[in-house]
């Protein structure tokens, strides 16, 4: 069955709406985040073999050892970035993957930058974003640990992979008043990862550990 046909069935607007209802039931309250997720056709970002599962609340494989994050985690992390009615402003995403989370971010702010270390994924993300006419995301093939200093500072930074320590370069690329959300901790099977929220003030950085999460590891360099 083609993706167009799937769009009339398992991946219809009604199916997306049911996913959003489940996110609300799970505790996502930010109406802007829910609306942005409702607009993005997630089945277009996953392999056709998994398109029928695109609106389940689960991570799905992308190949190259990577995954597309489960919708709840995408919603929750962006909700934390926006907590307190805070606008996202200029946003940096570390770990473009297939482009799904970047497309959700693009529905909430005018300026999104996203960096991905795997050339195969950045090429795929470009195709996906172009297909849905998402033109306010700027993509870069590079090392996420280094960020994108040439266009810093950023008001919001979000990481789509778990870092064993907070990248120093990303701390420096935060604007004063900016916020960063990341999965924090090692990525071994028995390791505990937590979502970490960091805010930059005139005096320095404030950190708050949140709920447990499980992400693939954030790796340095490019491939």
Residue 69 among the catalytic residues: yes
pLDDT of residue 191: 81
Does this model's pTM top 0.85? yes
DSSP letters, 155-167, are EEEEESSBBSS--
Q: Is 22 helix (H, G, I), strand (E, B) or coil?
A: helix
pLDDT of residue 11: 54
Any idea what DSSP says for residue 29?
-
Q: How many CB atoms lie within 10 A of CB 59?
A: 16
Q: How far apart are CA 88 and CA 105, in angstroms?
A: 8
Q: How far apart are CA 46 and CA 175, in angstroms?
A: 33
Backbone dihedral angles phi then psi of residue 25, each to the nearest 5 degrees: -65, -30
- Interhelix angle 13-25/71-82, nearest 10 degrees: 60
pLDDT of residue 200: 98
What burial class does residue 104 get, using C-beta atoms within 10 Å of its C-beta: 0-12 exposed, 13-18 middle, 19+ buried? Answer: buried
pLDDT of residue 4: 44
What are the structural domains, with CATH classification, of the chain?
3-213 (3.40.50.150)
Q: Which entry of 2, 12, 69, 188 is annotated as an active-site residue?
A: 69
Q: What is the mean pLDDT of each run of 10 residues along the chain (223 residues)?
A: 46 87 97 97 90 91 85 97 97 97 98 97 96 96 98 98 95 98 87 95 97 92 94
pLDDT of residue 5: 45
Q: Which residue has the tokens 């199916």?
A: 15
């Amino acid at each position: 069955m083609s993706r167009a046909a799937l769009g009339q069935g398992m991946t219809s607007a009604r199916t997306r709406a049911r996913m959003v209802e489940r996110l609300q039931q799970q505790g996502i309250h930010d109406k802007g985040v829910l609306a942005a997720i409702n607009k993005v056709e997630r089945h277009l970002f996953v392999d056709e073999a998994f398109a029928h599962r695109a609106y389940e609340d689960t991570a799905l494989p992308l190949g190259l050892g990577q995954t597309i994050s489960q919708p709840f985690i995408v919603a929750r992390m962006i909700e934390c970035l926006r907590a307190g009615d805070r606008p996202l402003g200029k946003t940096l995403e570390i770990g473009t993957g297939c482009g799904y989370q970047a497309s959700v971010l693009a529905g909430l702010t005018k300026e999104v930058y996203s960096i991905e270390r795997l050339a195969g994924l950045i090429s795929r993300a470009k195709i996906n974003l172009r297909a849905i006419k998402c033109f306010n995301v700027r993509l870069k093939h590079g090392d996420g640990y280094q960020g994108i200093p040439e266009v810093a500072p950023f008001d919001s930074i979000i990481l789509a992979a778990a870092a064993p320590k907070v990248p120093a370069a990303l701390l420096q690329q935060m604007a004063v008043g900016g916020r960063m959300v990341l999965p924090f901790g090692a990525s071994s099977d028995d390791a505990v990862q937590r979502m970490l929220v960091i805010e930059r003030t005139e005096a320095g950085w404030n950190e708050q550990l949140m709920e447990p999460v499980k992400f693939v590891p954030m790796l340095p360099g490019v491939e």
